Amino acid sequence: MKEIRVGAGQFEVRDADKAYNLEKIAELSGKAAEEGAQLVSFNECSISGYTFLEKLSREELFALAECVPGGPSTEKLVEIARSLGVALAAGLVEREDDRIYNCYVVVDENGFVAKHRKIHAFISQYLTCGDRYTVFDLLGCRFGILICYDNNLPENARLTAMMGAEIILMPHVTGCLPSPMPGRGTVDPELWHNRERDPVRLRQEFDGPKGRGWIMRWLPTRAWENGVFAVYSNPIGVEGGTIKPGGSMILDPFGEVLAECRTLGDDVVVATLDPQKRELASGPSYIRARRPELYGLMTEPNPHVGPDGRPEVWWQKHRK
């Protein structure tokens, strides 16, 4: 792994407004490039919007989707990357034949580099779950990609690291959702709209168990237990009728935060990823210490996963 400067951005994504979203990606990427970023990462479905997909028919979802590579949004990302001299990572809805995927694409100034299809597809019954892990070389480093819920399962991050990933891009749309856990739940939209007059109340909501408090329970662990850098990106503000807390951040292989968006609005942060930290981190030794002969139970069929690969938390709700 080479030393690299990486950026993580956040912005208020507009539903189905690809032109606007790509404009914000270009704007924030330009700011990151001025700080020396060589790659800038944005949230899940940052080009298309995410939460509103739940309300779309299959025909509407298919119309929103694009080919990757070769589609207009991917080509626009390449154009932005070429103009700034950086690599870019952003999310959109992909179509291939009659299937639709939640896709995350990486490009650089030379064109398409890689894509990942979300393994645990949520939000719409018309999305097909991805069937493989994604690892690729770029800028002298080995990258992996896991989208949102993909990161909640330790096995996904572990296997991505075992495939050689040194840096895992972790694009999300998460936080401030209904939950039975103590202190969790949604954020009153009025707090967001009144953020300039009363930022304290909104920051308390975003920093508490609804937002950052929950993220910091497990996100640093994914970096620490695998000895990888984690690049977490998340939208902020109104997203599909919900309020999202942003908080995009970059973590090192010790699980420590190198840089974090703290603005109550569009923002981007940049951090240097030092390869010596991976040499000192405990994660690689944990991987080497595994006892695969004891793990047979992990490979048995899972009765809690639906026939299309979705976990029961999704398909029990939507099959009614």
Q: Which residues contact 300 (CB under 8 A, 6 or more apart)?
A: none
Condensed to tens digits (0 to 9), the pLDDT of residues 114-127 reads 999 999 998 999 99
The two tokens of residue 107 are: 């490009």
Rg (CA), the chain: 19
Q: What is the pLDDT of residue 306?
A: 73
- Parallel/antiparallel/unpaired status of strands 249-251 and 257-260: antiparallel
- Specify the DSSP class assigned to residue 264: S
Peptide bond between residue 171 and the one before it cis (omega within 30 degrees of 0): no
Pairing between β-strand 87-96 and β-strand 134-138 as defined by DSSP bridges: unpaired
For residue 189, pLDDT beyond 80:
yes
Q: What does the pLDDT look like over 13-42, one tens digit per residue?
A: 999 999 999 999 999 999 999 999 999 999
In terms of pLDDT, which residue wins out, 311 or 178? 178
Q: Name the band, by pLDDT with cuts 50, 70 and 90, for residue 303.
A: confident
> Taking 80 as the threshold, does the pLDDT of residue 308 lie above it?
no
Asked if 25 contacts 77 with a C-beta cutoff of 8 angstroms, the reply is yes
Residue 32, Cβ neighbours under 10 Å: how many? 25
pLDDT confidence tier of residue 311, bands split at 50, 70 and 90: confident
| Count of beta carbons in the 10 Å neighbourhood of residue 273 | 24
Give Cα separations from 100 to 61, 95, 205 (angstroms).
Answer: 8, 4, 34
* Type of residue at 292: P
Structure tokens at 52: 């509103």
Fold of 4-318: Nitrilase/N-carbamoyl-D-aminoacid amidohydrolase (3.60.110)
Between CA 265 and CA 44 the distance in angstroms is 17
pLDDT at 88 over 80: yes
| Strand partners for 90 | 105
Mean pLDDT, the chain, rounded, equals: 95
CA distance linking residue 192 with residue 176, whole number of Å: 12
Span 146-174, pLDDT tens digits: 999 999 999 999 999 999 999 999 999 99
Q: How confident is the model at residue 188 (pLDDT cuts 50, 70, 90)?
A: very high
Summarize pLDDT for 231-278 with one digit per residue, the tens: 999 999 999 999 999 999 999 999 999 999 999 999 999 999 999 999
Closest of 181, 186, 189 to residue 214, by C-alpha:
181
Q: What is the mean pLDDT of residues 191-215?
A: 97
Domain boundaries, the chain: 4-318
Phi-psi group of 148: left, alpha or beta (phi > 0 → left; psi -120 to 50 → alpha; rest → beta): left
Q: Is the pLDDT of residue 137 over 70?
A: yes
| Whole-number pLDDT of residue 305 | 80
Q: Residue 229's pLDDT band (boundaries 50, 70, 90)?
A: very high
pLDDT band of 320, cuts 50, 70, 90: very low
